[in-house]
Amino acid sequence: MKTEHIGIAVSNLEEAVKHYEKLFNRPPYKREVIEDQKVETVFFKTGESKVELLGATSDDSVIAKFIRKKGPGIHHIAFEVDDLEKEMKRMQSEGFRLLSNKPLKGADNKIIVFLHPKDAEGVLVELCQSISD
Protein backbone atom coordinates (compact mmCIF):
# COMPACT_ATOMS: atom_id res chain seq x y z
CA MET A 1 0.00 0.00 0.00
CA LYS A 2 1.26 3.45 -0.88
CA THR A 3 0.62 6.42 1.42
CA GLU A 4 -1.76 8.28 -0.88
CA HIS A 5 -2.31 11.31 1.33
CA ILE A 6 -2.29 12.69 4.85
CA GLY A 7 -5.49 14.49 5.89
CA ILE A 8 -5.09 17.52 8.14
CA ALA A 9 -8.12 19.01 9.91
CA VAL A 10 -8.01 22.83 9.91
CA SER A 11 -10.27 25.38 11.55
CA ASN A 12 -9.75 28.12 8.94
CA LEU A 13 -9.24 26.65 5.48
CA GLU A 14 -8.20 29.90 3.77
CA GLU A 15 -5.57 30.69 6.43
CA ALA A 16 -4.30 27.11 6.32
CA VAL A 17 -3.99 27.22 2.52
CA LYS A 18 -1.86 30.38 2.80
CA HIS A 19 0.43 28.71 5.37
CA TYR A 20 0.84 25.53 3.34
CA GLU A 21 1.48 27.51 0.15
CA LYS A 22 4.44 29.06 1.95
CA LEU A 23 5.52 25.72 3.40
CA PHE A 24 5.58 23.96 0.00
CA ASN A 25 6.39 27.08 -2.02
CA ARG A 26 3.62 26.25 -4.50
CA PRO A 27 -0.15 26.58 -4.81
CA PRO A 28 -2.58 23.70 -4.26
CA TYR A 29 -3.52 21.68 -7.35
CA LYS A 30 -7.12 20.95 -6.39
CA ARG A 31 -10.02 22.16 -4.26
CA GLU A 32 -13.19 20.10 -3.87
CA VAL A 33 -16.26 20.02 -1.63
CA ILE A 34 -17.50 16.55 -0.64
CA GLU A 35 -21.13 17.29 0.19
CA ASP A 36 -21.88 13.88 1.74
CA GLN A 37 -18.98 14.23 4.19
CA LYS A 38 -19.58 17.96 4.87
CA VAL A 39 -15.96 18.81 4.15
CA GLU A 40 -14.04 21.07 1.81
CA THR A 41 -10.69 19.69 0.72
CA VAL A 42 -7.58 21.39 -0.69
CA PHE A 43 -4.74 19.26 -2.07
CA PHE A 44 -1.00 19.86 -2.32
CA LYS A 45 1.38 17.45 -4.08
CA THR A 46 4.27 16.26 -1.92
CA GLY A 47 6.36 14.04 -4.19
CA GLU A 48 4.60 10.69 -4.68
CA SER A 49 2.07 11.60 -2.02
CA LYS A 50 -0.28 14.48 -1.10
CA VAL A 51 -1.40 16.62 1.79
CA GLU A 52 -5.16 17.15 2.04
CA LEU A 53 -6.34 20.10 4.11
CA LEU A 54 -9.83 19.44 5.47
CA GLY A 55 -12.23 22.20 6.48
CA ALA A 56 -15.74 21.65 7.87
CA THR A 57 -18.62 22.96 5.77
CA SER A 58 -21.06 22.77 8.69
CA ASP A 59 -21.00 22.60 12.49
CA ASP A 60 -22.11 18.97 12.47
CA SER A 61 -19.29 17.87 10.13
CA VAL A 62 -16.96 15.18 11.53
CA ILE A 63 -14.13 17.69 10.99
CA ALA A 64 -15.83 20.32 13.18
CA LYS A 65 -16.41 17.64 15.83
CA PHE A 66 -12.78 16.48 15.63
CA ILE A 67 -11.46 20.07 16.01
CA ARG A 68 -13.75 20.75 18.98
CA LYS A 69 -12.43 17.64 20.68
CA LYS A 70 -8.74 17.54 19.71
CA GLY A 71 -7.95 20.84 17.96
CA PRO A 72 -6.53 21.14 14.43
CA GLY A 73 -3.99 18.52 13.35
CA ILE A 74 -3.49 15.23 11.55
CA HIS A 75 -6.91 13.68 11.03
CA HIS A 76 -6.25 10.57 8.93
CA ILE A 77 -3.74 8.70 6.80
CA ALA A 78 -4.90 7.31 3.46
CA PHE A 79 -3.40 4.21 1.86
CA GLU A 80 -4.05 3.39 -1.78
CA VAL A 81 -5.16 -0.10 -2.77
CA ASP A 82 -5.82 -1.61 -6.21
CA ASP A 83 -9.08 -3.34 -5.31
CA LEU A 84 -10.99 -1.67 -2.47
CA GLU A 85 -13.81 -4.22 -2.19
CA LYS A 86 -11.28 -7.06 -1.95
CA GLU A 87 -9.30 -5.19 0.75
CA MET A 88 -12.54 -4.46 2.65
CA LYS A 89 -13.30 -8.18 2.79
CA ARG A 90 -9.75 -8.97 3.88
CA MET A 91 -9.81 -6.28 6.59
CA GLN A 92 -13.16 -7.54 7.92
CA SER A 93 -11.88 -11.11 8.04
CA GLU A 94 -8.89 -9.79 10.06
CA GLY A 95 -11.31 -8.25 12.57
CA PHE A 96 -11.06 -4.57 11.58
CA ARG A 97 -14.27 -2.53 11.86
CA LEU A 98 -15.13 -0.66 8.67
CA LEU A 99 -16.98 2.64 9.10
CA SER A 100 -19.17 1.97 6.05
CA ASN A 101 -20.42 -1.22 4.43
CA LYS A 102 -19.84 0.15 0.96
CA PRO A 103 -17.14 2.35 -0.60
CA LEU A 104 -17.94 6.08 -0.36
CA LYS A 105 -17.09 8.85 -2.77
CA GLY A 106 -13.88 10.53 -1.63
CA ALA A 107 -12.07 13.61 -2.90
CA ASP A 108 -9.71 13.67 -5.90
CA ASN A 109 -11.27 10.84 -7.92
CA LYS A 110 -11.24 8.16 -5.25
CA ILE A 111 -13.59 5.69 -3.67
CA ILE A 112 -12.82 5.32 0.01
CA VAL A 113 -13.56 3.45 3.21
CA PHE A 114 -12.43 4.25 6.76
CA LEU A 115 -11.30 1.83 9.45
CA HIS A 116 -12.25 2.58 13.03
CA PRO A 117 -9.41 4.49 14.73
CA LYS A 118 -9.56 2.16 17.74
CA ASP A 119 -8.51 -0.73 15.44
CA ALA A 120 -5.36 1.08 14.23
CA GLU A 121 -3.81 2.28 17.49
CA GLY A 122 -5.80 5.52 17.57
CA VAL A 123 -5.17 6.46 13.93
CA LEU A 124 -8.06 6.99 11.51
CA VAL A 125 -7.03 4.99 8.42
CA GLU A 126 -8.61 5.55 5.01
CA LEU A 127 -8.26 2.98 2.25
CA CYS A 128 -8.75 4.46 -1.20
CA GLN A 129 -8.88 3.33 -4.80
CA SER A 130 -8.45 5.61 -7.80
CA ILE A 131 -11.35 5.91 -10.23
CA SER A 132 -11.44 7.70 -13.56
CA ASP A 133 -12.92 11.24 -13.82
The contact set with ligand CMX (CB under 6 A) reads 7, 34, 37, 39, 41, 52, 54, 62, 65-66, 69, 75-76, 78, 99, 106-107, 112, 114, 117, 122, 124, 126
Least Å distance between CB 72 and ligand CMX? 12
Q: Which CB atom, from 25 or from 58, has the smaller least distance to ligand CMX?
A: 58
Please tell me the distance from the alpha carbon of residue 115 to that of residue 131, in angstroms, as a whole number.
20
What's the min distance (Å) between Cβ of 38 and ligand CMX?
Answer: 8
Question: Could you tell me the sign of the dihedral formed by the alpha carbons of 70, 88, 50, 48, in that order?
Answer: positive
Q: Residue with CB nearest ligand CMX?
A: 106
* Nearest one of 71, 64, 57 to 107, comparing CA atoms: 57
Q: Please, what is the minimum distance in Å from the beta carbon of residue 101 to ligand CMX?
A: 13
Residue 14 to residues 10, 11, 21, 51, 116, Cα–Cα distance (Å)? 9, 9, 11, 15, 29
Query: What's the min distance (Å) between Cβ of 71 and ligand CMX?
Result: 12
For residue 35, what is the DSSP state?
Answer: G
